[in-house]
Every structure is written in C-alpha cells, then in structure tokens.
Structure 1
Amino acid sequence: MTLKTQFSSFDFECGTDEAGRGCLAGPVTAAAVILPTNFSNKVLNDSKQLSEKKRMVLKPIIEELSLSYGVQHIFEDEIDSINILNASIKAMHGSIAQLNIVPNYIIVDGNKFKPYNSIPHQTIIKGDSKYLNIAAASVLAKTYRDLYMEKIHEEFPMYNWKKNKGYPTKEHRAAIEKYGVTKYHRKSFRLLPEQYCLDL
C-alpha cells in the first residue's frame, strides 16, 4: 500500500510516533516530523516493517529532507513515576516542542494523545503504515532509541541491549534473573525476579 503524504490540507502537518513503549529497560522515545507536501520515498514505511539497515539508511534522508524534526527521550525514573502511557505522550509533546516550525495540525500514531498547545490533532490507528510523516517519525524514534540502547549496552553487556534493545526477550529476562536490575530498568514493569518490581 502506498503511504499518503499527509492527512489534512494544512501546510505544516506534523506526524508523531514513539518507540520503546513495551521495553523493560531504557527510555521511551518519540519523534515528530514535518515533511514537505511533495515528499516521496518508496522505501519509507512503518519502522517495524523495515530492517535495521533500511531504517539507518532512511534516518539521514528524513533528517535532511524534512522541513523540521524533533526527538525526545523520557527516561526510566519518569516512566515509573507517571506511567508508560503518560510518558509516551510527554515524549511526543517534547518532540513537537523541538520543531522549528510550529505545526498547524498534528497526526498521531495510535489512539491516545493529549492536546498540545491547542493545535488540532487526529489519532490514527496504524498511522505509521498509512502516512509518510508518521512513518518518518517512527523511523527516527526507533533509530535514535536503538542507538541509545547500543550505547548503554557497553555499560551492561550481559543484558545484550545492542541486540534486544531492552525488549522483554527470553534472554533479557534470564539476564535480569541472573544479574538483577540496573539503573536503566523500569522498576514499575513486570521484571524478573518479582521482588525487583515496585508495588505500584
């Protein structure tokens, strides 16, 4: 399916998406992207449908050709404090705030969002596989988060974050069981062993 350039008829429509919502460790990361109305790219799609290599090829293309983009991490302590849904929305708001063009419309991947500065918005289920600006945001959110997880992997290589990126793989859970948790783990999530979870 060919992705549409944008949802609305506004000149500066921003697409936003997040990555890392279901992870046990690391931040939730969101990106916001405003693309030119004539933007096209045959490869760009929902980041989950793309190989890591393709995402890394697309990253500088999106950064160069977008009218504006922003990326925001929300880290573990804040996720534990305000919960993952609120942290995801806060990350999206933060990424939109970084744009050097004020968007006049926002489209959001998924079905949950809170109004941002009275700018009209629309949530779109699977929006990252329907609209190029959300797909571009999904690629930036995923690549920036992956690069961060590869960096902190060097500090705690036993969890193999460079491969699993903090997601709850069997290997990751086994490492938590063996070595305990780190400062990068989300204590409010169901980690193993159970005593490492906060009683929230």
Structure 2
Amino acid sequence: MVAPRVNEGLLQIAGVDEVGRGALFGPVVAAAVILLPVAAERLVKVGVKDSKQLRAADREILYETIKTHAVAFCIGMASVREIDRMNILQASLLAMRRAVMRLSITPDLCLIDGNRAIPAFAIDQRTIVKGDQREPAIAAASILAKVWRDRLLVRLDRRYPGYHLASNKGYGSRAHQLALETLGPSPQHRLSFSPCQRSLFQSPPQPAISPAIPML
C-alpha cells in the first residue's frame, strides 16, 4: 500500500469504509477519515492496513494513532431498525453518508470502499474495490469503524448478557446462534436476517427494552 495518487491537485480527500454488514446484532458502523499525503505515508509505515488483517490489540493502538494524524475523522452508523426497514446495503450506505456529512471539513472527494457509491450524494466520490487494501485513508477508516463498533459491542454485552457479544461482536458464531435459540432475539438483533427470524419461532422473545445505542 502506498499513499494515494488520486489526491494530487485536491485539497481534502476522505477515505470511507464500514463494518458490521454481516453481523446479526447491532448497528452497521462507518468511518470517514481525511489524511494529508505525508500523514498517509506515515500511517502506512506504522502498520495501517485493512482492519481485517490486524490483531485487535494492534487496531486499538492504530486507532489512537490515526486520530492523532488525521485532518478530520468521524463515525456514522445506521440502527438495527434502519437495517430492518431498508436492507443492510442501503443502511451501510446511509452510515457512510452520515460519517462524511459529520466531518468537520467537507472533503473534495470521497474514496468509498467497495463497488457501490453513496446514492444522491453531492460530494464527488470514487468507489474502489478492496479499497481498504489499496488506499491508506480507506484502511484508516476501516480501523476506526472496526474499533468503535467492537467497543460498542463490548458495552452492549453487559446490557444484553448471554449472547457472548464481547467475543463474537454480534456475528453469527456458534455460541451466538445457540444463545439465539435459547433466549430469542434481543431488541438489538436484526430481525430481517434469517438466523434471527428463525429464533423467533424457537423461543419466546425477550421483553422490550429501550433500543438506544450508547455512544462512545
């Protein structure tokens, strides 16, 4: 990975990525990060790359390093209710939109991980397949989004015990699916996802609890 060539002649470029699309529980979370070229080069040297290729402990360290070197960064998310209402793809794009729009600086260009652009978006954007492996700003965004969401799931594990959220981070591990069969879905499970739908018929639903997500 090298510092992106596409930022030549532009003032501010934001890398944008999301995490949590495949999870059964909790919001989908996106991050937007603006880096100057010199900061991008420095972050690559200290190990910034696709968050999936990093250990959790390394992501935690890089999370703080990225925040220090970024011109601007922000988190956006789409709730479980929004995921169930509009589908996970559209909710992911909504989370990305929110992350970009809440930046303290409006970027000239957004580099979006994947092949789907944010719909009806006023800011110029470019989609990059496997962008978290090719563009430092996208890799940085993937790390911020991953760490933020993981921290949130650890906190939600205390609110919704029994699903092993601190370890599985809301994904469909065997332990998580067994808990779904036993406990039924919580108010933060994605009922539009088939494993959560099946669990509705296998066990009584939990009492309604406020679906508010704590902010970190």
- Aligning the two structures, in what range does the TM-score lie when normalised by the shorter sequence? over 0.9
The answer for unaligned runs of 5 or more in structure 2 is 202-216
Shift of 1:157: 2.3
Aligned to 2:19: 19
Query: Which of 45, 50, 53 is the equivalent residue of 2:54?
Result: 50
TM-score of the aligned structures, taking structure 1 as reference length:
0.93
Q: Deviations over 1:156-178 (max 9, x none)?
A: 22111000000111111111011
SS at match of 2:64: helix
Contact 2:74 2:103 in 1 (8 A): yes
Aligned AA for 2:80? E
Give CA deviations for 1:121-171 in whole Å, capped at 9, x if unaligned: 111110001110000000011011001100000122211100000011111
Distance, in Å, in 2 between the alignment partners of 1:64 and 1:142 is 17
Q: What is the 5 A alignment of 1:137-152?
A: 137-152=141-156
What is the DSSP-based 3-state SS (H/G/I as helix, E as strand, rest coil) of the residue aligned with 1:86?
helix
Q: Tell me if structure 2 keeps the 8 A contact 1:176–1:193.
A: no
Code of the residue aligned with 1:141 in structure 2: it is A
For residues 52 and 3 of structure 1, the distance between their equivalents in structure 2, rounded to whole angstroms, comes to: 23
Whichever residue aligns with residue 145 of structure 2, its letter is A
Letter of the 2:73 partner, please give it.
Y
Q: How does 1:159-178 map to 2 (within 5 A)?
A: 159-178=163-182
Instruction: Tell me which stretches of 4 or more aligned residues in structure 1 moved more than 4 Å.
Output: none
**How far off its partner does 1:37 sit?**
1.6
What amino acid sits opposite 2:12 in the alignment?
Answer: F
> Whole-Å Cα distance in 2 between the matches of residues 87 and 179 of structure 1?
26
Q: Give the deviation of 1:36 after TM superposition.
A: 1.4
1:112 to 111, 116, 125: 116
Tell me, yes or no, if the aligned pair for 2:84 and 2:190 is still in contact at 8 Å. Answer: yes
CA distance in 1, matches of 2:165, 2:17: 22
Contact 2:77 2:96 in 1 (8 A): no
Equivalence map 1:1-200=2 (5 Å): 2-5=1-4, 7-9=6-8, 10-39=10-39, 40-41=42-43, 42=45, 43-115=47-119, 117-192=121-196, 194=198, 196=200
Return the letter of the residue paired with 2:101.
A
- What SS class does the counterpart of residue 162 from structure 2 fall into? helix
Percent identical across equivalent pairs?
Answer: 37
CA distance in 2, matches of 1:195, 1:175: 9
Deviation at 1:65, TM superposition (A): 1.0
Question: How far does residue 195 in structure 1 lie from its aligned partner after superposition?
Answer: 5.5
Where structure 1 has 5 or more consecutive residues not aligned to the other structure, the ranges are none
* Greater helix fraction, Structure 1 or Structure 2: 2
RMSD: 1.5
